Amino acid sequence: MKHFLDYVVRSLVDNPDDVQITEVPGQNERIYRVGLNPADIGLVIGKGGRTIGSIRSLINAANKAGDHLAVEVVENS
């Protein structure tokens, strides 16, 4: 799933080399933190959050493990 998310996010941003995805496991939930260049955050979130909402929908639709998946966008430092 991490590779799929990486592919989707890298295809959207202007600085694909700055994309870092970390997986944080939890009870019945996995959180994917997507670290981005500050200039790319708006591209991934989209107008009114539509793009990130679509990414979350894609990830949960492709999920076969049955866990709840969450995607968070963070700024790389």
> pLDDT tens digit string along 37-54?
999 999 999 999 999 999
Q: Is the pLDDT of residue 9 over 90?
A: yes
What is the residue range of 59's domain? Answer: 2-75
Please name every residue paired with 70 in a beta bridge, in sequence order, or none if there are none: 31
Cα 28 to Cα 46: distance, rounded to the nearest angstrom: 28
Which CATH number is 63's domain given? 3.30.300.20
Angstrom CA distances, 2 to 36, 47, 48, 50, 65, stand at: 15, 24, 25, 21, 13
Q: Is the pLDDT of residue 76 over 90?
A: no
| Total domains, the chain | 1
When pLDDT is cut at 50, 70 and 90, the band that residue 23 belongs to is very high
Burial class (CB in 10 A: 0-12, 13-18, 19+), 40: buried
Average pLDDT of the segment spanning 46-71: 88
Per the CB < 8 A criterion, the answer to whether 5 and 32 are in contact is: yes
Cα 28 to Cα 24: distance, rounded to the nearest angstrom: 11
